[in-house]
Chain A
Amino acid sequence: MAKCSICGRDAVAYIRYQRRYLCREHYIEFVENKVRRSIKRYKLLSKGSKVLVSVSGGKDSAALLMALSRLSKEYQLKLYALHINLGIGEYSEKSLRASTEAAKMLRIPLIILNVKDLIGYTIPELARRLRRPVCSVCGLVKRYLINAVAVELGADAVALGHNADDLAVYSMKSFITQDLEYLDKLGPKTENIQGIAVGRIRPLYEVYEKESFLYAFLLGVPFIHDECPHVNHESLEQILKVKLNEVEEKKPGMKIMMLRNMAKRIRDLPRREYRVQSCRYCGLLSSTEVCSFCRMTARIHGEPLGPIVRSRVRELVKESESRQLSSAAG
């Protein structure tokens, strides 16, 4: 059995791009050091930040929640978790259970939103009614709800579980489709826009997908190992993921190099020019007079649901904060 290059204990992994073996303890430290370095290098968080962590129930958000929880003392973070129940059958039920268990294990308050309760339809039902791809509707709804919760919570940042593989693939896709303006959104963070949008941070920016899995597995944080039934294995993203991993195997460290260089160049990349404004119905970030969420819900219900959803989100956030206060007092 290969031994850890640091302490000589049994190794659990070999890090090709560093040419060293690591045992369980040093592997955990290695991933946390990556997160710590990204926080510092990309100025993702400052001490005392209030952070809303978006948790899906999968390995990446489990790893993210665990890493931020373990770093929370050092950075004096106030962490909240958010899980959105998408209504995708058994997959969503399992995701909700894993997210609840992970938040409970780490003693992080969890806010749960149910898309069907808020909009009247599950994500697949919405997609059918709108005649749009499930993933596109899902992305739109999730982005809106995450931002709505973060604004109500007064969060300093929303932490997302995108790993290095995800971001390398999205970047390659943007290049291939020449949607170069999208590259600007793939960096380690986006900025806050006072009162209408909370900036997003990606603490796993330099953590590989496999590393994220192994970190969550080694620390025993609950996560589901099921694939969303709507994943399309023939999509450009899936094909690029396989190809990038073939390159990584031959050129270890390529994905990190690509992302680090991209983060440095992000200010030079072309940007889509639009006027930042607040939606005339719900008041949240929009590039036009009415935000995409209000437009989408108006198509289905005849009226935009943004204001009603925001008011329900406000109640849920208040309930969560008062539960926090009473548990701190008790």
Chain B
Amino acid sequence: MAKARVIPDNKELTVDSGISVEELLKAAGFNTESAVVLVNGSPVPEDYRVKEDDEIVIVRVLSGG
């Protein structure tokens, strides 16, 4: 199990190890075009599989700016 934080919404999710970033985004209700996933501070492609103890941040890409 790993934990994922969603910013800027400040939500926290529990994530099963082994699922892909794409599956994680779908489960969290995001389109792959609308969010970036950082694992241990670095962006990863959508087929990256979550490992135990990964520090995951889902960044909802905001409009504007």
Contacts and interface: CB of A to CB of B under 8 A. Distances in A.
Nearest to A226: B8
A12 B44 contact: yes
A82 B43 CA distance: 30
A173 B7 CA distance: 28
Nearest to A216: B65
A166 interface: yes
* Chain B, interface SS category: loop
A21 interface: yes
A249 interface: yes
Contact of B63 (A1, A224, A238, A248): A238
A166 to B, nearest CB: 7
A201 B25 CA distance: 34
A210 B61 CA distance: 6
Contacts of A225: 7-8, 59, 62
B61 A59 contact: yes
A21 B62 contact: no
A237 B34 CA distance: 14
Interface range on chain B: under 10, 10 to 19, 20 to 34, or 35 or more?
20 to 34
A213 B36 contact: yes
Nearest to A11: B45
Contacts of A21: 45
A325 interface: no
Interface string B23-65: 0000000011111100000111111100000000001011111
B31 A57 contact: no
B8 A248 contact: no
Interface residues of A, number: 40
A245 B34 CA distance: 7
A245 B32 CA distance: 8
B47 A231 contact: no
Interface in A224-249: 224-228, 231, 237-238, 241-242, 245-246, 248-249
Given A58-B65, A166-B63, A231-B63, A12 B32 contact: no
B13 to A, nearest CB: 18
A213 B33 contact: no
Contacts of B7: 225
Given A208-B33, A242-B31, A248-B33, A57 B47 contact: no
Given A2-B45, A13-B43, A214-B43, A249 B33 contact: yes
8 contacts: A2-B48, A58-B64, A165-B63, A209-B33, A209-B61, A213-B36, A225-B7, A249-B32
Nearest 10 A-B pairs (CB), nearest first? Answer: A58-B65, A245-B33, A14-B45, A12-B43, A245-B31, A60-B65, A213-B61, A56-B65, A2-B45, A11-B45
